[in-house]
Structure 1
Amino acid sequence: MQSRFSLTTGYSDALEQLCSHLLSQRSGNRRYILAVAGPPASGKSTLAEQLVAKLNATRTDCAALLPMDGFHLDNRILAARGLLSRKGAPETFDAVGFGVTVQRLHDRSSEIIHPVFDRTRDLAVAGAGVITPEVDVIVVEGNYLLLKQEPWVSMRTHYDLTVFLSPPMEVLEQRLIERWLIHGLEEAAAQARAQGNDIPNARLVLEHSDAGDIRLSDR
């Protein structure tokens, strides 16, 4: 069993401390799996990407990223199910397929191929991500990794350490509206889009997720 990690400082120092911890956990053939969860616009993707980049700066192929976003259902399927306007909600992901991939993460006998979400085209690209057998640390990132419902709960046994990002709801609301403004929507339309889907998803994550081994809230 891997030792648990205690974070003793705030968010600003989390990257350095997490990186040091992950480097210290590389041993033998066993991979170390870190899960980074949190609501949309919490900063989890940025933290996960920076962690992987920092680890790979110490050694090529030291770390790899597995984003949950690659398992978005295609827009055509969502439209057929009446879920297109709810894209990003738990039911709009291939959660079972994601879980199967998570189960494989400790297997170093072959490379793991996974889909990656292309935001410019708003779709998941099959076979766009590769985790090679040489990788020691895998950072899994997504909104619902710590949600207190299946199939997310069953995946938790595969994580060695979990981090949950939880900025205040008012901060998340501002960021989520800003996202749509950046995409060119007018203020009223941006607020409507955020209130109709993104903000309910954020509230779901904050209110119905486990706290994780480490909780970061001061950002």
Structure 2
Amino acid sequence: MATLNKSVPLSAYTQFSRAEWAKLSQSTTEILSALEREKLGGIDETISADEVNDIYLPLSQLLYMHMTHSVNLHENVSNFLQKKTKKVPFVIGVAGSVSVGKSTTARLIQALASRWPNSPKVDLITTDGFLYPNAVLEERGLMKRKGFPESYDIGRLIRFLYELKSGYAYIEAPMYSHLTYDILEDTVQKIIEPDVVIVEGINVLQVNKKDRRIPQVFVSDFFDYSIYVDAEEEDIRSWYIERFKLLRNTAFQQSESFFHRYRHLSDTQAYDIAKDIWTTINAINLEKNIRPTRHRADLILKKGAGHRVEAVHLKKM
């Protein structure tokens, strides 16, 4: 079966340059304050007002269009069937590599979607919470494959999404600590009657390749819209190394940090270790499991230097 990768033209998509996409914005006023943008940014990623107005505001407006279409379709079908049913949440998937900035993208979408005219309740879920606990990964010899498909409890994630799309009023999602690098025991995220749910993670567009003879349910089957955050591997690797060096001087200094042993590394040592982790783990996962799912997304944000989105690819309808 042929798969799409970085060398295959994205012919199924309409490409917009940054300037072309920015022209779609329907507002000239600042939507998010400097303080809000600072809180939404990552440790190695600042968000400019231009990035919000040029890229994320048109994206938010497009998502709002899809969401309202979904609401209207539900009402029309309910009227046709003469059976009133509760509208289930509109679910947005956000995928992409480690360090590409998908978490920042998801937080920005959440902040902007919360400002839609209908003032929806918007929840953000990260699939990190559905990783197996470190004890399980250790037992299965998977600690060095953390982030690969087999390191996730996909069954639990699918059950969560089933409940979400079944209209459950209350659902619990497991939570993950990037400080301890493990699942938070006895701590859950409470999801109570959301209108919109954003599901962010490197694995959300992946499919199970083990046995294609039997019908399977995939995480993306529950999405109403999906986004892939893309960049050249050289840029992502650079961002990963820089983030590792920043964390060495911040989170790694805390005694409870899983990476506390790296707190005294020199710049050269930190660079070498981060590059080795990228090469032996993250680059392989990107090439084999993450990038091949790019063509499954409805929209692709292509980043360049400084996490600046340079182009947007929108799947043709």
Under TM normalisation by the shorter chain, which class is it? 0.7 to 0.9
Equivalent pair of 1:180/1:190 in contact (CA under 8 Å): yes
Select 1:172's aligned residue among 236, 240, 255: 236
CA deviations on 1:119-175 (whole Å, 9 max, x unpaired) are 112122254212111x21111111011224359962322111111111011111111
Equivalent position SS for 1:96: helix
Percent identity at matched positions? 23
- Describe how 1:65-80 pairs up with structure 2 within 5 A: 65-80=124-139
For 1:144 and 1:41, how far apart are their aligned partners in 2? 14
1:34 matches 2:96: no
Which secondary structure does the structure 2 equivalent of 1:104 belong to?
Answer: helix
Q: 1:204 aligns with which of 279, 282, 288?
A: 288
Taking the aligned partners of 1:7 and 1:31, their CA distance within structure 2 comes to 29
Q: How far apart, in 2, do the equivalents of 1:70 and 1:36 lie?
A: 15
Q: Where do 5+ consecutive residues of structure 1 fail to align?
A: 1-5
Partner of 1:163: 227
Residue equivalent to 1:119:
178
Farther off after superposition, 191-200 or 11-20 = 11-20
Alpha-carbon distance in structure 1 between the residues aligned to 2:204 and 2:168: 25
Which amino acid in 2 is paired with 1:19?
S
Out of 278, 281, 287, the residue aligned to residue 194 of structure 1 is: 278
Which of 41, 56, 60 aligns to 1:19? It is 60
Q: State whether residues 114 and 121 of structure 2, in contact with CA within 8 Å, keep that contact through their aligned partners in structure 1.
A: yes
**CA apart distance, 1:7:** 8.4
Q: Deviations over 1:8-59 (max 9, x none)?
A: 5648433212322333424362321111111111111111111112223457
- Higher RCO, 1 vs 2 (CA within 8 Å, ≥6 residues apart): 1
Using the alignment, how far apart are the partners of 1:109 and 1:101 within structure 2? 10
What is the TM-score normalised by the length of structure 2? 0.60
Letter in 1 for 2:61: S
Q: What is the TM-score normalised by the length of structure 1?
A: 0.85
Worse overlay, 35-44 or 150-159:
150-159
Distance 1:95 1:109, change over 3 A: closer
Distance verdict in 2 for CA 1:178–1:84, change over 3 Å: same
Residue 48 of structure 2 is matched in structure 1 by none
The 5 Å alignment of 1:85-104 reads 85-104=144-163
* Matching residue within 210, 213, 218 for 2:298: 213
Q: Verify: 1:129 aligned to 2:189, yes or no.
A: yes
Deviation at 1:60, TM superposition (A): 6.5
Report how many aligned residue pairs link the two structures: 213
Q: 1:53 aligns with which of 111, 130, 133?
A: 111
Instruction: Measure, in 2, the Cα distance between the counterparts of 1:154 and 1:18.
Output: 25
Distance in 1 between residues matched to 2:55 and 2:217, nearest whole Å: 25
Greater Rg by CA: 2
Instruction: Name the SS for the 1:144 alignment partner.
Output: coil
For 1:162, the aligned partner's letter is S
Which ranges in structure 2 are unaligned for 5 or more consecutive residues?
1-13, 22-50, 76-86, 211-215, 249-264, 304-308, 310-317
**Farther-moved stretch of structure 1 (14-23 vs 73-82):** 14-23
The alignment partner of 2:218 has SS state of helix
Amino acid at match of 1:216: L
Question: Post-superposition, which runs of at least 4 consecutive aligned residues in structure 1 deviate over 6 A?
Answer: none
User: 2:170·2:192 contact (CA, 8 Å) conserved in 1?
Assistant: yes
